[in-house]
């Protein structure tokens, strides 16, 4: 689609207004940061190790992208009480302030991907294909950057999962039977007390995990299949067993297995054979089981959402790391504070029992936690808790 052509743009705006008349509530705009291409369509840079060039930085946030979005706002978006979010590959903090500025000239918020790229392979020829976890220091630094940089200027979208990313409990948590529930609740806590609009991807509220298919033939995602053939068969950069480990960790199919409704055939998703195998753990991880368990991840998410409605500080409070937490390689602790209330959010990102001291005033309240009791300065594996004062 040639966005430089005014007739093309007008046809897009006509389509959007047509949908508006159907009563929709907004738009999620796929790769909206790529609609303005540089003059001459230059080749992307190619590193010595990579078989192909990388066009991402060349085509993202092009010279007229903000002109086009402001025109879209004038002719469509500004006419309706909608929510709009743009998927903005390659966006920076400064560009995000243009896309999602609180003056409302373009979009309400954007999806940025920096925290989704922290666990990429250090070898640029392998891109995202890797199986080592990101460090807490890197994750905390990136989330903190976006919280502080956009505060009072633009609006954050908050997410751990989407259809292109592996399951968060397998990626940043621990999906073993012992710690899956604790770490899923911990990750939910960290995200939902930040400033922005949280997005919950299907199955996240159940703690669905990566699928770990045994054979390449089980995968349907073309990105995964093509990467295997390129890196294993064509270039021999990666051994077959290593590449399968990379797929287990990073394939998009991890997020695309059928929703696990119950423990019947195909997890209750369909009576027909689905396009992608159901995760083998659907007998234990499914909606039916979650609804029967008052301590399930599902009900924990409901409580988090309820607190966001009840506490203005989550919307308007200032974000700050607890000072002594800036270099902690195991615990993430931050505060949210407005003129009337302070929240202290504490999360142990490890499977170890730790001791940490965070000063609290005498008058404080434990709002939510993922264990059944509070042991004060003792933090059990993947423990998360939030205090208000």
Residues noted as catalytic? 30, 87
What kind and span of H or E run contains 101? none
What lies within 8 Å, CB to CB, of 361 at 6+ separation is 389
172 DSSP assignment? T
How many whole angstroms separate alpha carbon 66 and alpha carbon 58? Answer: 16
- State the number of CA atoms in the 13 A half-sphere of 24 facing the CB: 15
Q: What angle do CA 160, 162, 167 make, to 5 degrees?
A: 60
279 DSSP assignment? P
Q: DSSP strand E in the chain: where? A: 26-29, 83-87, 109-111, 157-158, 197-198, 318-321, 331-337, 342-348, 354-355, 365-369, 378-379, 384-388
What kind and span of H or E run contains 353? none
- State the number of CA atoms in the 13 A half-sphere of 284 facing the CB: 9
How many whole angstroms separate alpha carbon 180 and alpha carbon 285? Answer: 10
How many whole angstroms separate alpha carbon 344 and alpha carbon 217? Answer: 47
Closest CA to 314 of 197, 215, 202: 197
Termini Cα distance of the chain: 53
Q: What angle do CA 9, 15, 16 make, to 5 degrees?
A: 90
Closest CA to 192 of 11, 342, 368, 372: 368
């Amino acid at each position: 689609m040639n966005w430089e052509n005014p007739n093309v743009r007008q046809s897009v705006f006509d389509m959007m207004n047509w949908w508006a008349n159907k009563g929709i509530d907004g738009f999620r705009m796929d790769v909206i940061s790529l609609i303005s291409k540089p003059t001459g369509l230059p080749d992307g840079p190619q590193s010595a190790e990579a078989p192909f060039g990388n066009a991402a930085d060349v085509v993202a946030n092009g010279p007229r992208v903000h002109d086009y979005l402001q025109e879209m706002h004038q002719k469509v978006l500004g006419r309706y009480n909608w929510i709009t979010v743009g998927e903005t590959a390659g966006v920076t903090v400064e560009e995000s302030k243009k896309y999602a500025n609180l003056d409302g000239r373009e979009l309400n918020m954007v999806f940025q991907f920096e925290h989704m790229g922290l666990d990429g392979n250090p070898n640029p020829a392998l891109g995202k294909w890797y199986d080592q976890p990101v460090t807490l220091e890197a994750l905390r630094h990136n989330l903190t950057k976006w919280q502080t940089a956009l505060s009072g200027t633009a609006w954050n979208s908050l997410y751990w999962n989407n259809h292109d990313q592996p399951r968060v409990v397998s990626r940043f948590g621990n999906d073993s039977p012992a710690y899956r529930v604790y770490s899923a609740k911990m990750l939910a806590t960290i995200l939902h007390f930040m400033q922005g609009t949280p997005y919950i991807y299907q199955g996240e509220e159940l703690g669905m995990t990566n699928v770990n298919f045994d054979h390449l033939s089980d995968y349907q995602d073309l990105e995964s299949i093509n990467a295997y053939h390129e890196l294993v068969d064509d270039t021999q950069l990666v051994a077959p067993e290593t590449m399968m480990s990379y797929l287990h960790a990073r394939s998009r199919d991890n997020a695309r297995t059928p929703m696990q409704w119950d423990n019947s055939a195909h997890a209750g998703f369909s009576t027909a054979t689905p396009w992608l195998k159901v995760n083998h753990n659907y007998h234990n991880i499914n909606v039916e089981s979650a609804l029967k368990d008052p301590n399930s991840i599902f009900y924990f998410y409901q409580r988090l959402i309820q607190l966001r409605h009840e506490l203005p500080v989550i919307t308007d409070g200032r974000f700050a790391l607890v000072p002594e937490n800036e270099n902690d390689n195991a615990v993430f602790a931050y505060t949210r504070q407005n003129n009337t209330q302070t929240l202290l959010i504490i999360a142990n990102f490890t499977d170890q029992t730790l001791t940490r001291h965070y000063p609290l005033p005498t008058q404080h309240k434990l709002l939510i936690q993922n264990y059944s009791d509070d042991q004060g300065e003792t933090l059990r594996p993947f423990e998360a808790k939030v205090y208000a004062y």
